[in-house]
């Protein structure tokens, strides 16, 4: 094993403290750190095809973390350029970072691409701005509000399933992305998918620009150059802003006394009545929720269909539960709340195939973390996928599909109550997690009522990091209409 050079650490960590803590890691290039090695490993494994029964995808998707964790253990340092990053896979240390209420850790600088994609909404806002945004946004996701959304979500799902009636094979990954974009357009912004689609398509194009740029050499001044990627990013930013302003102006022109009780209405009320939010901040939050509102749930549904296709016994168990609690009727919030097995299955899917695979924070001051002293400006990387697949945390069957591990709830499923990080934890846990789970349950229930399904022979099991964990070549399934 190679200790990180003491010369570099004197300026970053303090050599004596680091030696006492025993933190090691790969030696990096003076200019690029470990970036070239990371890119090379990921390029080599990009076309790797896994067995459909294998859920241990870390070697393909995060080969750098998998390699270094096996060499140095769960705590190690690596380098992004001249900036050191601390990898921690201990759920207790992760909890201390994510649950810190004193503001000792801020979100990592994400660069212009992701900032254009998400805006500086709840995901990226900090300090007082984040607290102010959270106060405005949270009421849109109370349980009472969520119950009023079930009919709209079901209508969106019904439209999708009607199109499935005449099909024998469906590529569900794309279908679910369009479905959830439609649902978030209606429930949060009161607009049709026809209007929201422009934001959806712009964000998908931005994703591809960000992914492509990862495999190119980046310099601090790159974002200022008139490159094709930068010109495309700015064009897509303008397109999203224009579309979102159109949606906002339509709400303003409705001339109703209130602006509505959905997410957009609450933000507009805050903007117009007391300047709690500016128009630019509303646009940023719209970007955030358009992306998060369809991205997380669509991939949760996709991986759920994959796992139920390869575990037919669980597909049948869930179908029996849905028919017992909902019959053939459209599920509502009260019926959905009784689907205990489905809840367990969805948590197990989120554990094995969490859409968000890494969480990151930056220390704003020297902070004691376990036995380590994390210096100011050090990035802390929390490998969600690595923690979720750890046999030390989840048991010998950590890489197997076993929903029964959640039989007694999330906090008792592993040997640490905070080992489940699909929605993060602490004060900045995802505000929309209840919405995502409700939407997934409604859609999945309606699918199980109408269809049985198996994997298409064309499916290649290739999980890939495309900002979120997705099937690299989609998920084609074969359908059998149960009412035919």
What lies within 8 Å, CB to CB, of 344 at 6+ separation is: 403, 404, 406, 407
8 A C-beta contact, residue 384 and residue 358: yes
Question: What is the pTM (predicted TM-score) of this model?
Answer: 0.93
Are domains 1-109+357-421 and 119-353+430-439 of this chain identical in fold?
no
C-alpha–C-alpha distance, residues 73 and 69, integer Å: 5
> Which spans in 193-278 are helix H?
193-214, 228-253, 263-274
What's residue 17's pLDDT?
54
C-alpha–C-alpha distance, residues 463 and 473, integer Å: 9
What's residue 13's pLDDT?
47
What's residue 10's pLDDT?
40
What's residue 31's pLDDT?
82
From the list 356, 361, 349, 359, the residue with the least C-alpha distance to 406 is 349
Binding residues for heme: 430
Instruction: Count other Cβ atoms within 10 Å, centred on residue 213.
Output: 18
What's residue 380's pLDDT?
96
Q: Rounded to 5 degrees, what are φ and ψ at 415?
A: -85, 5
Binding residues: 430
Question: Which CATH architecture describes the domain 1-109+357-421?
Answer: 2-Layer Sandwich (3.30)
The domain ranges of the chain are 1-109+357-421, 119-353+430-439
Sequential DSSP letters for 167-186: -SEEEHHHHHHHHHHHHHHH
For each of the chain's 484 residues, which pLDDT tens digit applies?
333 333 344 434 443 454 456 789 998 888 888 999 999 999 999 999 999 999 999 999 999 999 999 999 999 999 988 888 999 999 999 999 999 988 899 999 888 889 989 999 999 999 999 999 999 999 999 989 999 999 999 999 999 999 999 999 999 999 999 999 999 999 998 877 787 888 888 999 998 888 887 655 555 556 656 678 788 889 999 999 999 999 888 888 875 657 888 888 889 888 887 667 888 999 999 999 989 888 889 999 999 999 999 999 999 999 999 999 999 999 999 999 999 999 999 999 999 999 999 999 999 999 999 888 888 899 999 999 999 999 999 999 999 999 999 999 999 999 999 999 999 999 999 999 999 999 999 999 999 999 999 999 999 999 999 999 999 999 999 999 998 6
What's residue 293's pLDDT?
84
Helix H or strand E encompassing 129: helix 127-137
What's residue 14's pLDDT?
43
Tokens 């358009």 belong to residue: 290
In this structure, whether the domain defined by 119-353+430-439 belongs to CATH 3.40.50.300 is answered with no
What lies within 8 Å, CB to CB, of 282 at 6+ separation is: 248, 264, 267, 268, 271
Q: What is the dihedral of CA 354, 171, 177, 483, to 10 degrees?
A: -100
C-alpha–C-alpha distance, residues 69 and 81, integer Å: 20
- Give the CA distances from residue 288 to residues 28, 123, 133, 356, in Å, rounded to whole numbers and listed in that order: 34, 7, 12, 15
């Amino acid at each position: 094993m190679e200790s990180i050079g003491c010369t570099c650490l004197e300026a970053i960590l303090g050599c004596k403290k680091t030696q006492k803590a025993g933190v090691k890691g790969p030696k990096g290039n003076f200019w690029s750190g470990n970036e070239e090695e990371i890119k090379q490993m990921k390029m080599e494994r990009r076309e790797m095809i896994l067995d459909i029964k294998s859920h241990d995808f870390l070697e393909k998707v995060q080969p750098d973390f998998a390699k270094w964790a096996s060499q140095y253990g769960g705590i190690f340092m690596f380098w992004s350029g001249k900036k050191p990053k601390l990898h921690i896979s201990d759920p207790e240390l992760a909890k201390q970072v994510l649950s810190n209420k004193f503001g000792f850790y801020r979100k990592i600088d994400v660069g212009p691409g992701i900032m254009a994609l998400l805006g500086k909404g709840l995901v990226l806002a900090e300090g007082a701005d984040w607290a102010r945004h959270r106060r405005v946004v949270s009421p849109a996701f109370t349980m009472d509000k969520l119950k009023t959304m079930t009919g709209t979500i079901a209508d969106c799902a019904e439209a999708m399933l009607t199109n499935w009636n005449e099909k024998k094979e469906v590529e569900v990954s794309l279908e679910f992305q369009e479905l959830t974009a439609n649902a978030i357009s209606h429930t949060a912004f009161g607009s049709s998918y026809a209007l929201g689609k422009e934001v959806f398509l712009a964000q998908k194009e931005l994703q591809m620009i960000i992914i492509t740029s990862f495999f190119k050499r980046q310099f601090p001044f790159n974002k200022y150059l008139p490159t094709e990627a930068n010109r495309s990013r700015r064009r897509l930013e303008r397109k999203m802003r224009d579309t979102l302003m159109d949606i906002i102006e339509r709400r303003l022109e409705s001339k109703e006394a209130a602006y509505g009780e959905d997410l957009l209405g609450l933000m507009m009320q805050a903007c117009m009545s007391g300047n709690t939010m500016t128009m630019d901040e509303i646009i940023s939050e719209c970007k955030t929720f358009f992306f998060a509102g369809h991205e997380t749930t669509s991939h949760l549904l996709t991986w759920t269909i994959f796992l139920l296709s390869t575990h037919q016994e669980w597909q049948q168990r869930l179908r029996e539960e849905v028919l017992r609690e909902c019959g053939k009727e459209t599920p509502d919030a009260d019926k959905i709340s009784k689907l205990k097995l489905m809840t367990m299955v969805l948590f197990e899917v989120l554990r094995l195939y969490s859409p968000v695979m890494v969480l990151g924070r930056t220390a704003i001051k020297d902070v004691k973390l376990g036995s380590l002293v994390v210096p100011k400006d050090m990035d802390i990387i929390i490998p969600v996928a690595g923690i979720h697949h750890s046999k030390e945390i989840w048991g010998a069957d950590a890489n197997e599909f076993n929903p029964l591990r959640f039989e007694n709830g999330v906090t008792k499923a592993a040997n640490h109550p905070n080992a489940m990080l699909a929605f993060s934890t602490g004060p900045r846990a995802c505000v929309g997690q209840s919405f995502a789970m409700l939407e997934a349950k409604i859609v999945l229930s309606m699918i199980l009522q109408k269809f049985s399904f198996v994997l298409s022979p064309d499916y290649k099991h290739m999980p890939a990091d495309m900002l979120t964990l997705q099937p690299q070549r989609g998920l084609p399934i074969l359908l059998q209409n149960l009412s035919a």
